[in-house]
């Protein structure tokens, strides 16, 4: 379980998270929607410790993410994150990209890591691209590789930060299909997205972010279909 309790965060004088509280249970898929600059991506970065927080607490399976005594590298093995810009390692082939962390962080042998990598790459539909350099792949393919790379660590939780926003429209579908597949396999996911249709069809809960807080959270039928808050409805009208 991921527990976010009254988290505050500022960038200099600008407060970006103004008291965010949320709990994500094992097996849940939570989508996070909201306008740009509302703090959604920042929240994800805080959950895996890439950003500090200035108030509140985030715990993953009971471990405080920002406590000084926490081994953050060890914690990050349990949380996979995929970014908007896939950040492929350009100097490694697709397979090497995916097997690097299992080898160097989990200490797996080369053959075992290669096997895990090819398994996950087949999982996301890139089985025929193992020896290709990422520079030769399309954005959608590189993004799926990034997903495989995160999955290769066998994480308990997966965070997705607007993973389709940087893609050409025709490539969005293949990535969303991968996410759909993962959710049906029971992966615990927090998905920050602009794809409202996806949020409605795949999530167990949807959180609407506004001005650094969760404005409304609940099942998709409620948040998207029949919003309680007027601002939620207004946002949905502007994007749909």
Report the interface residues with other proteins, using CB under 8 A.
48, 50, 73-74, 76-77, 79-81, 83, 85, 87, 89-91, 100-101, 104-106, 133, 135, 146, 149-150, 153
Strand partners, 34: 209
The minimum distance between CB 9 and other proteins, in angstroms, equals 17
CA dist., res. 239 & res. 236, Å (int): 5
Distance of closest approach, residue 240 Cβ to other proteins, in angstroms: 31
Closer Cβ to other proteins, 152 or 224, answer by number: 152
Q: Which is nearer to other proteins, 87 or 184 (CB)?
A: 87
Which is nearest to 163 in space by CA: 183, 139, 143, 138? 143
User: Smallest gap, in angstroms, from Cβ of residue 89 to other proteins?
Assistant: 6
CB of 35 to other proteins, least distance (A): 23
Cβ closer to other proteins: 1 or 106? Answer: 106
DSSP per-residue string spanning 48-115: TTSS--SEEEEEETTEETT-TTS-HHHHHTTEEEE-SS----TTS-HHHHHHHHHHHTS---HHHHHH
Of the pair 38, 48, the CB lying nearest other proteins is at 48
In the complex, minimum distance from the CB of residue 237 to other proteins, in angstroms, rounded to a whole number? 34
Task: Write b or e for each residue in 27-60: b if 16 or more Cβ atoms lie within 10 A of its Cβ, otherwise e.
Answer: ebbbbbbbbeebbbbbbbbbbbbebebeebebbb
Residue whose CB is less far from other proteins, 91 or 228: 91
CA angle 122, 126, 127 (to 5 degrees): 55
């Amino acid at each position: 379980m991921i527990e976010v309790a009254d988290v505050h965060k500022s960038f200099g004088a600008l407060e970006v998270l103004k008291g965010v509280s949320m709990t994500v249970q094992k097996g849940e898929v939570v989508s996070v929607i909201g306008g740009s600059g509302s703090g959604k991506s920042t929240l994800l970065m805080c959950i895996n410790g890439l950003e500090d927080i200035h108030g509140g607490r985030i715990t993953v399976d009971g471990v405080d993410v920002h406590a000084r005594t926490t081994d953050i590298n060890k914690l990050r093995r349990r949380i996979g994150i995929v970014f908007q810009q896939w950040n492929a390692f350009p100097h490694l082939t697709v397979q090497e990209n995916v097997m690097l962390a299992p080898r160097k962080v989990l200490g797996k042998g080369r053959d075992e890591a290669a096997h895990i990598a090819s398994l996950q790459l087949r999982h996301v539909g890139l089985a025929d691209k193992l020896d290709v350099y990422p520079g030769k792949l399309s954005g959608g393919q590189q993004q799926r590789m990034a997903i495989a790379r995160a999955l290769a660590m066998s994480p308990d939780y997966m965070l997705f930060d607007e993973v389709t926003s940087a893609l050409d429209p025709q490539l969005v579908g293949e990535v969303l299909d991968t996410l759909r597949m993962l959710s049906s396999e029971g992966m615990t996911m927090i998905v920050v997205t602009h794809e409202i249709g996806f949020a409605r069809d795949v999530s167990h809960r949807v959180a609407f972010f506004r001005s650094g807080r969760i404005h409304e959270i609940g099942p998709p039928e409620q948040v998207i279909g029949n919003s309680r808050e007027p601002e939620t409805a207004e946002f949905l009208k502007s994007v749909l």
